[in-house]
Amino acid sequence: MNTVTTAVNYGIKLTEFAGGIRFGTDSLLVSEFCPRCRNAVDLGSGSGVIGLMLLASGRAKTVSGVEISPEYARLAVRNAGQNGFSQEYSCVCADVADVKRHFRAGMFGLCVSNPPYLPAKTGLTNESGLKHAAFHETTADIGGFCAAAAYLLKYGGKFCCVYRPEYLQRLISAAGENGLALKRLRFVHPDKNSPPSLLLVEFRKGGGAGASVMPPLFIYDDAEHKIFGAEIQRTISR
């Protein structure tokens, strides 16, 4: 497959498949949203970009990726090596539904994911199988991702993900069914006059009632989407 190399935050040089999903705002924002931890696991790790940003920013000491595509699993390991994280990063090629075959329960303090959000047979089918799987629940649905997170996290561990606002209820219900309590929520808007297009959410394994809603994040300062907001400017300059 043809590849391209992109410069992302913290000096990371990311190799990506030209015909696959490319690094975007959602991965950048969820990596910045994550709290610090010793060891993290990234469900549906793709090229490894979220895990590499966690390592490069000092938010995690080690990261394990879980990726169903053999091509992407190999690419994530390759990216880790190219950026000096061969010892800190690993990736298993597996469905998130099969994490019990690869990891012990309660191994991680943080689980992060940019999961697919569309049911398998909804929307248009992308000609690229790699892109289709990134957006559609071709194997595990959001319940499967939450179940995997609950198994992998230690008590009190945190599950952070980026998701679509229109499916928030489905996400919260799936998390609750797996013992994950909502703790932080932040809506991301294209600009101040547009409805949210993304949401960032943190759940805690074994957490009690009570959650904080953070101030909204506006990507652009203008309606033409040419001027980044101040917080985004600080984020992309790291």
Q: Within 23-69, where are the H helices?
A: 25-33, 49-57
The answer to whether the predicted template modeling score (pTM) of the entire model surpasses 0.85 is yes
pLDDT at 128 over 80: no
Q: What is the pLDDT of residue 135?
A: 46
Length of the chain: 238
Q: How far is CA 150 from CA 147, 170, 181, 201, in A?
A: 5, 16, 11, 15
Report CA torsion sign: 116, 76, 150, 37: negative
Residue-wise pLDDT for 33-67, tens only, equals 999 999 999 999 999 999 999 999 999 999 999 99
Is 127's pLDDT higher than 80?
no
Separation CA 204–CA 223 (nearest Å): 36
The Cα–Cα gap between 238 and 218 comes to 18
| Model confidence pLDDT, tens digit, residues 186-235 | 999 999 999 999 999 999 999 998 999 999 999 999 999 999 999 998 88
Mean pLDDT within 111-121: 79
Q: What domains are there in the chain, each with its CATH number? A: 3-236 (3.40.50.150)
The whole-chain average pLDDT of the chain stands at 91
Backbone angles phi, psi at 135, to 5 degrees: -105, -25
Q: How far apart are CA 216 and CA 185, in angstroms?
A: 9
Residue 1's pLDDT is 78
Res 136: pLDDT: 41
Q: Can you tell me the distance from the alpha carbon of 234 to that of 231, in angstroms, rounded to the nearest whole number?
A: 5
Q: What's the token pair of residue 42?
A: 């990234």
pLDDT at 125 over 80: no
**Where does the chain show beta strands of DSSP type E?**
3-7, 13-17, 39-43, 62-67, 89-93, 108-113, 118-119, 136-137, 153-163, 180-189, 198-205, 212-213, 217-218
